[in-house]
A and B are shown apart, each in its own frame.
Chain A
């Protein structure tokens, strides 16, 4: 299995809703990432988990809450989002070794906040 699976593919939520994005990989990768991508911009790093521990939080607002239940799963809990949070949310995984071999991205969740 060489895939990163993200669900849901599309999500529309109101500003008072609570929702979660899910990501799963079975490649034995020990680093997992959440990225946010707006139209015509490169992916922007949000969080990095290494060996199930949060290692980087790129000053992301607390309305985004990541969780790594185990080495294969990564969640992103959403609460009280703003319309400007509408974007493509990408999960990625990689080997957690120096140099690395690149990331494998999931197909993303396209989020619309109304």
Chain B
């Protein structure tokens, strides 16, 4: 089983749509969880950390379910500028080192 698995994508959605990405991780002792965004030919950039209580940043909401080892990212009212690859990232047990999922590509269409 891969350490971090994401929806394969790609997701092609119209502007204004709501889109959800899912991710599962295999290491139950993982402590930190993140969503990164990567634009084409650019470096990954931290979008948001993910907490058990859930967290929201504008149109973006992230959720963590430790029991199911599941992370989600919800994007509301999609904009053209949201088009990117979204990487689910998880830390190891007792570690600051991160493991990256393969990413899900989102294309928001006019």
| Inter-chain contact A42/B96, CB cutoff 8 Å | no
- Counting from the closest, the 9 A-B pairs by CB-CB distance are A100-B96, A105-B43, A42-B100, A99-B31, A99-B32, A102-B46, A102-B34, A108-B43, A107-B43
Known contacts A90-B43, A105-B45; is-contact A98 B102 (Cβ 8 Å): no
Residue among B43, B97, B101 making CB contact with A106, cutoff 8 Å: B43
Q: Is B1 an interface residue (CB 8 A)?
A: no
B interface residues, tally (CB under 8 Å)? 23
| Inter-chain contact A101/B31, CB cutoff 8 Å | no
| Inter-chain contact B91/A100, CB cutoff 8 Å | yes
Residues of chain B with a CB closer than 8 A to A100's CB: 32, 91, 95-98
A-binding residues in B (CB < 8 A): 31-32, 34, 36, 41-46, 49, 87, 89, 91, 94-98, 100-103
Q: How far is the CA of A96 from the CA of B97 in the complex (A)?
A: 9
B-binding residues in A (CB < 8 A): 31, 41-43, 45, 48, 56, 88, 90, 94-108, 110
Q: How far is the CA of A96 from the CA of B41 in the complex (A)?
A: 28
Residue among B34, B49, B94 making CB contact with A98, cutoff 8 Å: B94
Q: List 8 A-B contacts (CB under 8 A).
A: A42-B101, A43-B100, A45-B97, A99-B96, A100-B32, A102-B36, A102-B89, A103-B44
Q: How far is the CA of A97 from the CA of B94 in the complex (A)?
A: 9
Q: How far is the CA of A96 from the CA of B91 in the complex (A)?
A: 12
CB-based nearest A residue for B47: A102
Q: How far is the CA of A98 from the CA of B29 in the complex (A)?
A: 12
Residues of chain B with a CB closer than 8 A to A101's CB: 32, 49
